[in-house]
Structure 1
Amino acid sequence: MYSSKELGLKVKKAREQRSKRSGQDFTQKMLAFKIGETSKWVQKLEKGQFYPEWDALNLIADTCGVSIQFLIDEDFEDEVDYEEAVKGGQIARTISEEDLYV
């Protein structure tokens, strides 16, 4: 499994691949809107500041048109396996209100 920094780079690469396929820029803000998060959340994810929850990764993969394996370099069967793999890490689905405006 990738480090959180490597995961962030893969998310950015997936977003860029969607841009290339569509011929239009697919921004962090657009990705955030599609997955129900803030652009600050996507920015922090791409900087490798945390591991998102499983459902967020699946949404990102679907939205960007890549496999979950592309994003995490593992073939996890389900959410439980993923959560176990990142146990003790910085798992986060949302960011506190104060972090959104920093």
Structure 2
Amino acid sequence: MYSPKELGLRVKRAREHRAKRSGQEFTQKMLAFKIGETSKWVQKVEKGLMYPEWEPLNLIADTCGVSIDFITGESFESEIDYEESVRGGVEARKISTEDLYV
């Protein structure tokens, strides 16, 4: 994960990416409105004064048209396939019915 300062630069770059892609200005105020935050909140994030929770980071990525990987600096690609995820992954041990009522 990036430091708050680097994350702030990434958020700013994501916002600039949205502006460049659309050909129109995309201000901190506009981003704040789209993600349900205040422009002061966005300003603090971009300056690296705070590290936001996961939900707003996802909203920023979606709104700006970048991946969450770009914003956070982490890869969220999973090596576990879908079927294994549905099954719940590797089984640690089985619990018997008797164990549940002890």
What displacement does 1:76 show? 4.2
SS in 2 for 1:61: helix
Distance (whole Å) between structure 1 residues aligned to residue 2 and residue 76 of structure 2: 13
Shift of residue 47 of structure 1? Answer: 0.2
Alignment size in residue pairs: 77
With structure 2 as the length reference, what TM-score do the two structures score?
Answer: 0.73
Q: In the alignment, residue 14 of structure 2 is paired with which amino acid?
A: A
**Ranges in structure 1 where 5+ consecutive residues have no aligned partner:** 78-102
Could you list the runs of 5+ residues in structure 2 that have no partner in the other structure?
78-102
TM-score norm. by structure 1 comes to 0.73
Q: Distance in 1 between matches of 2:76 and 2:64?
A: 19
Q: 3-state DSSP class of the match of 1:10?
A: helix
Aligned residues: percent identity?
79
Matches within 5 A, 1:12-91: 12-76=12-76
Give structure 1 regions of 4+ aligned residues with deviation exceeding 3 angstroms: none
Larger radius of gyration: 2
